[in-house]
Amino acid sequence: MTAFTIFDITGSKLRETGTSWRINAASNDISNCEILVDAPGAGHHIYLEKVSIIFTDILVSVGSGESESAVEDKILGPLIYEQHFDFSCDPIQLPDNKAFTADASEAGLVCIVAKGFTI
């Protein structure tokens, strides 16, 4: 069960291939690695276009998969003691059938807004 509260999602499209999605998630403790977008299934990939992170005085990482309560393949992080971080780019492809995940060094408020699509 995820510690994130997902405030705004684009319905079931998070796992539907060929569709775009947006999430707005918040948590007081993601120190054990939490899933933001579920793995899309074998042969499919999540692509990230934009990630915004607001957090307190902790270390935060985002990426794909989960291994021993940490992000398995980090895309960003650990981000160190920032209060607000924005990342926009050409789409970044996560590995085949891997969830979009986030973790932190300890408990603390984290808000993540992300935009992407699944193919």
> Over the stretch 42-75, which tens digit does the pLDDT of each residue have?
999 999 999 999 998 899 999 999 988 899 999 9
Looking at per-residue pLDDT, the higher value among 85 and 63 belongs to 63
* Global pTM value: 0.87
Predicted confidence band at 12 (pLDDT cuts at 50, 70, 90)?
very low
Q: Does pLDDT of 10 surpass 60? A: no
CA distance linking residue 99 with residue 57, whole number of Å = 26
β-partners of residue 118 are: 19, 46
- Stretch 32-44: mean pLDDT: 90
CB 13 within 8 A of CB 20: yes
Distance CA 119, CA 108 (A): 33
Name the token pair of 77.
């992080």
